[in-house]
């Protein structure tokens, strides 16, 4: 089969062996795979330049073979989280915090390939109303759902989302669907802020032109109840602590720069700061929101590439060129 191999700061497509199913595994023929900026960063900046890997954790496909009761040809999507299944975290529904945690597309082979092996327990059926490219967007939507669940957001709460990338734009829609009050979105790229307004943001702030702290707190009295930092920079973390209301909740979901931080503001405002990793328990909600049209994932897909052109797709995403928001690969 063809697969895109990340190694030594480059990604190349070549022939490789099909996955061999283990007990309880499903072999899926991939139909669509979303490109995550994390994949691009890790490919271009490898920790171990000699290591080969097949990345890709946002995918949809059809069942090729299985011994687990799923019929061949079934339309499916799947969670990437693989834990031991027996530790307290796994038993509590948090395999992302298992000491033996592995993830498809990172420590396990991923979906930038024609075929993928997946534990049957991770599989969800893709509703007939949803296209394969919409199916590939369930994983990032579930990430947004999990982050907002951790935030404790309730109906009527005001929300600020820092970073208008795919996760930020999806979180915006999930927050709206969950009954958020005012929603503010910040970023540096005007095309994405414009998309955010179309998707339901009450206000947007281009941080190159305005002070997001002053602007948001002047519109949302006392500051937003919830701040979701999907930008993952030192400046966005600082902004999150200063934007948030007293007693507010901050959730960190971006890829992180190092920060120099004094916790004083967190103490005097009694802020709660939580990290958010992956998407345990969030997939049924994500599927339902997309299926019912409460979250529009199609508008985020701006570019489509066949698998042999994945290097061009990575280059586009890395340069953030041509108005790209989300690129999808079709093996």
CATH of the domain at 152: 3.40.50.720
| Cβ atoms 290, 297 nearer than 8 A | yes
Per-residue pLDDT band at 66 (split at 50, 70, 90): confident
DSSP alpha helix (H) spans, the chain: 37-44, 88-91, 132-135, 138-151, 166-177, 190-198, 212-219, 234-243, 264-268, 283-291, 310-319
Is residue 207 scored above 90 in pLDDT?
yes
- Regarding whether 155 and 128 lie in a shared domain, the answer is no
Give the closest residue to 168 by CA, choosing from 244, 253, 58, 240.
253
As a whole number, mean pLDDT of residues 140-149 equals 98
- Regarding whether 271 and 155 lie in a shared domain, the answer is yes
* pLDDT at res. 86: 97
What CATH number did the domain enclosing 26 receive?
Answer: 3.90.180.10
* pLDDT at res. 29: 98
- Regarding whether 303 and 192 lie in a shared domain, the answer is no
| Cβ atoms 73, 22 nearer than 8 A | no
Is residue 112 scored above 80 in pLDDT?
yes
- Regarding whether 212 and 270 lie in a shared domain, the answer is yes
Is 283 a domain residue? Answer: no
SS3 annotation, 172-220: HHHHHHCCCCCEEEEECCHHHHHHHHHCCCCEEEECCCCCHHHHHHHHC
φ/ψ of 15, rounded to 5, equals: -75, 140
Domain range enclosing 222: 143-275
- Regarding whether 157 and 51 lie in a shared domain, the answer is no
Encode pLDDT of 244-271 as tens digits: 999 999 999 987 778 888 899 999 999 9
- Regarding whether 267 and 160 lie in a shared domain, the answer is yes
Is residue 197 scored above 80 in pLDDT?
yes
Q: Give the percent of the chain with pLDDT over 70.
A: 100
CA angle 297, 19, 278 (to 5 degrees): 40
- Regarding whether 14 and 133 lie in a shared domain, the answer is yes
- Regarding whether 9 and 132 lie in a shared domain, the answer is yes
As a whole number, mean pLDDT of residues 165-177 equals 98
- Regarding whether 160 and 112 lie in a shared domain, the answer is no
- Regarding whether 246 and 127 lie in a shared domain, the answer is no
Per-residue pLDDT band at 23 (split at 50, 70, 90): confident
213: alpha, beta or left? (left if phi > 0; alpha if psi -120 to 50): alpha
* pLDDT at res. 21: 86
- Regarding whether 111 and 43 lie in a shared domain, the answer is yes
Mean pLDDT of the chain: 96
Is 75 a domain residue? Answer: yes
Is 238 a domain residue? Answer: yes
Q: Give the percent of the chain with pLDDT over 90.
A: 92
Mean pLDDT lowest among 43-47, 184-188, 281-285: 43-47
Is 284 a domain residue? Answer: no
Distance between CA 68 and CA 66 in Å, rounded? Answer: 5
Distance between CA 50 and CA 10 in Å, rounded? Answer: 11
As a whole number, mean pLDDT of residues 41-47 equals 90
Number of domains in the chain: 2
Per-residue pLDDT band at 215 (split at 50, 70, 90): very high
- Residue, of 21 and 294, whose pLDDT is higher: 294
As a whole number, mean pLDDT of residues 112-129 equals 97
- Strands 10-15, 301-306: pairing kind: unpaired
Is 120 a domain residue? Answer: yes
φ/ψ of 2, rounded to 5, equals: -85, 140
Is 233 a domain residue? Answer: yes
Distance between CA 281 and CA 79 in Å, rounded? Answer: 10
- Regarding whether 93 and 6 lie in a shared domain, the answer is yes
Is 11 a domain residue? Answer: yes
Is 310 a domain residue? Answer: yes
């Amino acid at each position: 089969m063809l697969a895109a191999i990340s190694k030594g700061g480059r990604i190349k497509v070549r022939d490789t062996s099909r996955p061999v199913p283990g007990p309880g595994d499903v072999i899926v023929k991939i139909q669509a795979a979303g490109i995550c900026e994390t994949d691009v960063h890790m490919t271009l900046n490898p920790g171990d330049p000699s290591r080969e890997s097949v990345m890709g954790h946002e995918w949809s496909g059809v069942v090729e073979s299985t011994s687990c009761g799923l019929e061949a040809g079934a339309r499916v999507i799947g969670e990437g989280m693989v834990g031991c299944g027996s530790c307290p975290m796994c038993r509590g529904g948090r395999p992302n915090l298992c000491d033996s945690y592995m993830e498809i597309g990172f420590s396990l082979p991923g979906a930038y390939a024609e075929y993928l092996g997946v534990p049957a327990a991770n599989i969800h059926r893709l509703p007939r109303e949803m296209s394969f490219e919409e199916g590939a967007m369930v994983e990032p939507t579930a990430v947004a759902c999990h982050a907002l669940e951790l935030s404790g957001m309730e109906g009527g709460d005001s929300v600020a989302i820092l970073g208008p990338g795919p996760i930020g734009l999806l979180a915006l829609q999930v927050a709206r669907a969950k009954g958020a009050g005012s929603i503010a979105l910040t970023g540096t790229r005007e095309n994405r802020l414009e998309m955010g307004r179309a998707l339901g943001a009450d206000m947007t702030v281009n941080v190159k032109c305005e002070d997001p702290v002053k602007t948001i707190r002047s519109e949302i009295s006392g500051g937003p109840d919830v701040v979701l930092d999907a930008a993952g920079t030192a400046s966005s973390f600082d902004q999150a602590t200063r934007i948030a209301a007293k007693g507010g909740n901050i959730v960190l979901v971006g890829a992180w720069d190092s920060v120099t931080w004094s916790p004083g503001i967190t103490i005097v405002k009694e802020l709660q700061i939580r990290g958010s990793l992956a998407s345990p328990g969030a997939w049924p909600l994500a599927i339902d929101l997309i299926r019912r049209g409460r979250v529009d994932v199609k508008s985020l897909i701006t570019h489509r590439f066949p698998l042999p052109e994945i290097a061009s797709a990575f280059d586009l995403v890395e340069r953030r060129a041509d108005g790209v928001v989300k690129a999808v690969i079709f093996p």
